[in-house]
Amino acid sequence: MHSDERRTTALVEAARAGDAEARDALVRAYLPLVHNIVGRALDGHADTDDIVQETMVRALDGLTGLRDPDRFRSWLVAIAMNGIRRRWRERQQAPVPGLDRAADLADPAAGDFTEVTILRLGLSGQRRDVARATRWLDEDDRELLALWWLEAAGELTRAELAEGLGGLSPQHAAVRVQRMKERLETGRAVVRALDAVPRCQDLAETVTTWDGRPSPLWRKRVARHLRGCDTCTARVNGRSGLAPVEGLLVGIGLVPPLAITAAHGHTTESVGYGTVSRWTPLRRVGVAGAAAVAVLGAVALLVPQEQPHARVAPDRPAPRARAAA
């Protein structure tokens, strides 16, 4: 067993025995991972913070029912994904006209998760283009993207990705990943072609009625143009072509949560990168007040004030080896 896994197992066993410090340590270590999964799956939607909180509280409250402490990580990923799916079901079942439109509103404090990723991880060049290309994926790809991005970055294993997708076999998961990667590669080509200055005249005519918002429909239309345009193909490939996407993402780290609200929402503090975010009181899960305080208290320790530019929590497990697609 890897040293990080041994440490996590020890923390889980201590937390199940009632050790408050172990519970806080688990949250400090794994909240960034949950934040990245939920944030990318919902792309900065206003529900992101609630689902992250809900996931951590469910995990803390359910520790006694976890049979194998060494499976805490994959179990936590599955809880987060279930929370994301519940959110989508609630959105689809909303009975009041206009709620669908309201549900699509992003959290103005959290912002577009893709842009947050670019800014806070300092992505540039082809890494930046990969992040922007994710906006062109199908909506059904978003859950898979949230997990695969972290697998490619070395934060999740293929087994954990498959379990997060509802317990798929690794083989089935590999097929889904490959199909998504093909759409992502198309998105990378689209981003490069649209960025070209001056833009190809035929491409400019193709996108005359485009409203500027990335979408699967316009990905297909631009891609169709690229397949028949030597000028755009040359611009997309450049001198050295496009680097393999996994190589661009390995080791780039997690996008850290920015800020916290003290227990019961009394105050809001900026703790890094000059941005203020909110941690709303739990609304969907009935839990003991002590559990909510434990989560919020651990978040407060995540990015210390005296280190405003720290990118990862000091107790975060080291990146894991990435499984091949």
Using pLDDT thresholds of 50, 70 and 90, give the confidence band for residue 236.
very high
Greater confidence (122 vs 322) lies with 122
pLDDT beyond 90 at 89: no
Read off the tokens for 23: 């519970």
Residue-wise pLDDT tens digits, 35-65:
999 999 988 777 888 999 999 999 999 999 9
Over the chain, what is the mean pLDDT? Answer: 77
Phi, psi of 32 (to 5 degrees): -60, -40
pLDDT beyond 90 at 112: no
DSSP 66: -
Residue-wise pLDDT tens digits, 272-288:
222 223 333 333 333 33
Tokens 């029912």, located at residue: 65
Least confident of 159-173, 197-211, 310-324: 310-324
Using pLDDT thresholds of 50, 70 and 90, give the confidence band for residue 107.
very low
Residue range 189-216: mean pLDDT, rounded: 96
Residue range 253-276: mean pLDDT, rounded: 44
Greater confidence (283 vs 194) lies with 194
Q: What distance in Å separates the CA atoms of residue 39 and residue 106, rounded to the nearest whole number? A: 11
Report pLDDT for 320: 52
Q: What is the pTM of this model?
A: 0.73
DSSP 169-235: -HHHHHHHHHHHHHHHHHHHHHHHHHH-SSPPHHHHHHTTT--S---HHHHHHHHHHHHT-HHHHHH
Residue range 193-210: mean pLDDT, rounded: 95
